Structure formats: structure tokens, C-alpha cells
Amino acid sequence: MFSEVELLRTVIMLQKNLGQDKLASQRCIVTQLLRRLSMEKASEHEGYFLNVTGLKRIGKGQAIGRSGYTFFPVKFTCRTFMPVPGETLQGVVYRVCRTGAFMSCGPVNVVFLSTLKMPGYHYVAGEEPFFLGSDLSKIETGVVVQFVVLAVRWIENVYGRKELQMLASILGDNLGPISLCEW
């Protein structure tokens, strides 16, 4: 689900980068804010940060002792993506194995579709394995699949960053591989 949220973050600036009158330019503060959000990428409560849509307020800078840094509180609006159970989404299959298929969906890189959640499909082994449906539709690498979100969880990856994972299902109407028209 896409949403618009209002956030408050603190931006850190080196005092030597401030102007002669000790004021930071709005451009420098926004650049630092965007840099911080690109490193943060997501929040467990708001989801993935997609883009900053508005700048509400830049607070007064506070110098921290003799550290050489000044902190600016920044209030802004941001568009986020946070999938919720029951939502219908589309993903691209990037790996097929005997137990199911792995897909990516927007910024979410791990969406798992278990064989238990795709009735009427059976696994076909080979150099490039795939699932074949009773209607002869295929779920293979590169195919777009429309699915419903069963569960969402945040995990910490090997780099110490939290990322979102989803469990998917194609049980129901209008779910499964999507045939894209080629021109």
C-alpha cells in the first residue's frame, strides 16, 4: 500500500560547511536528508521510502559543543510503500525451486510463493525449472505473477539492515501468471 507520511529527521551538518552567518542553505540540508533516507531505505512502521514529496519545516540549528557539528530538525512529507496482508500485488519471478518461486515486487526483493499456495501447478525440473498449471500456464523466471500478500515480516540481512519479506499466494480469482501482450 502506498501512503503519504509526515516524518521528522535530524540532519547533521559540519559547521565549516555553513555560511559566514552560520546558516545552512536549504539545498544542503535537503541533500543531506536525501542521503540519509537513501541509507535508511525503510522503516518498520512506515515501510520503504520512495521519495520526498514536500518540505514542511527546517528547524533552528543547534551546535553540539565543540564537536564541529550542527543538528537541524527537518519535518517533511514522504511517499512510502508498505505491503499489507490481503493486498493484491504483482511480482517478477527471479528463481524457481522445488518448494516454490521467489519474486521481487518493487523495492521488496524477497517474495516467496510456496507450492502449497499455487494449486493446480506442478514442478517441472530441468536446466531452467518451472511450474506448469493445469491450464498450461507457466510460472518461470522472468514471468510476472499477480498474487495476494499472506504475510509480511521484517528481517535483518547479513549487512545489519532491516528488509521486508513477503509470503504470497495465488489462491483465488484473477491471480497467477499474467500474459503480457507483445507488439
pLDDT for 43 equals 83
Is residue 101 exposed (0-12), middle (13-18) or buried (19+ Cβ within 10 Å)? Answer: buried
Is residue 31 domain-shared with residue 69, that is, in the same domain? yes
Is residue 126 domain-shared with residue 170, that is, in the same domain? yes
Is residue 116 domain-shared with residue 170, that is, in the same domain? yes
- The C-alpha atoms of residue 183 and residue 175 are separated, in whole angstroms, by 24
**CATH code: domain of residue 172:** 2.40.50.140
Per-residue pLDDT tens over the stretch 37-57: 888 888 888 888 888 898 899
Q: How many domains does the chain have?
A: 2
> The C-alpha cell of 68 is what?
564541529
Q: Which of 59, 81, 103 is the last residue of a domain?
A: 81
Is residue 92 domain-shared with residue 172, that is, in the same domain? yes
Question: Is residue 28 a part of any domain in this protein?
Answer: yes
Is residue 71 domain-shared with residue 102, that is, in the same domain? no
> Does the global pTM surpass 0.85?
no
Q: Which of 37, 56, 81 is the last residue of a domain?
A: 81
Q: Return phi, psi of residue 146, to 5°.
A: -90, 130
Is the model's pLDDT at 6 over the cut of 80?
yes
Is 161:41 a contact under the CB 8 Å cutoff? Answer: yes
pLDDT for 37 equals 86
Per-residue pLDDT tens over the stretch 134-161: 999 999 999 999 999 999 998 887 777 7
Is residue 171 domain-shared with residue 102, that is, in the same domain? yes
Is residue 135 domain-shared with residue 159, that is, in the same domain? yes
**CATH code: domain of residue 30:** 3.30.1490.120
Neighbours of 149 (CB within 10 A): 20
Is residue 168 domain-shared with residue 97, that is, in the same domain? yes
Is residue 75 domain-shared with residue 92, that is, in the same domain? no
Is residue 55 domain-shared with residue 136, that is, in the same domain? no
Is 127:116 a contact under the CB 8 Å cutoff? Answer: no
* Nearest in space to 61 (alpha carbons), one of 46, 71, 49, 47: 71
Give residue 131's domain range. Answer: 88-177
For residue 172, give Cα distances in angstroms to 39, 117, 118, 147, 176: 38, 10, 10, 9, 9
Q: Which range, 148-157, 158-167, 174-183, is most confident?
A: 148-157
Q: What type of residue sits at position 7?
A: L
Per-residue pLDDT, averaged over 2-26, amounts to 76
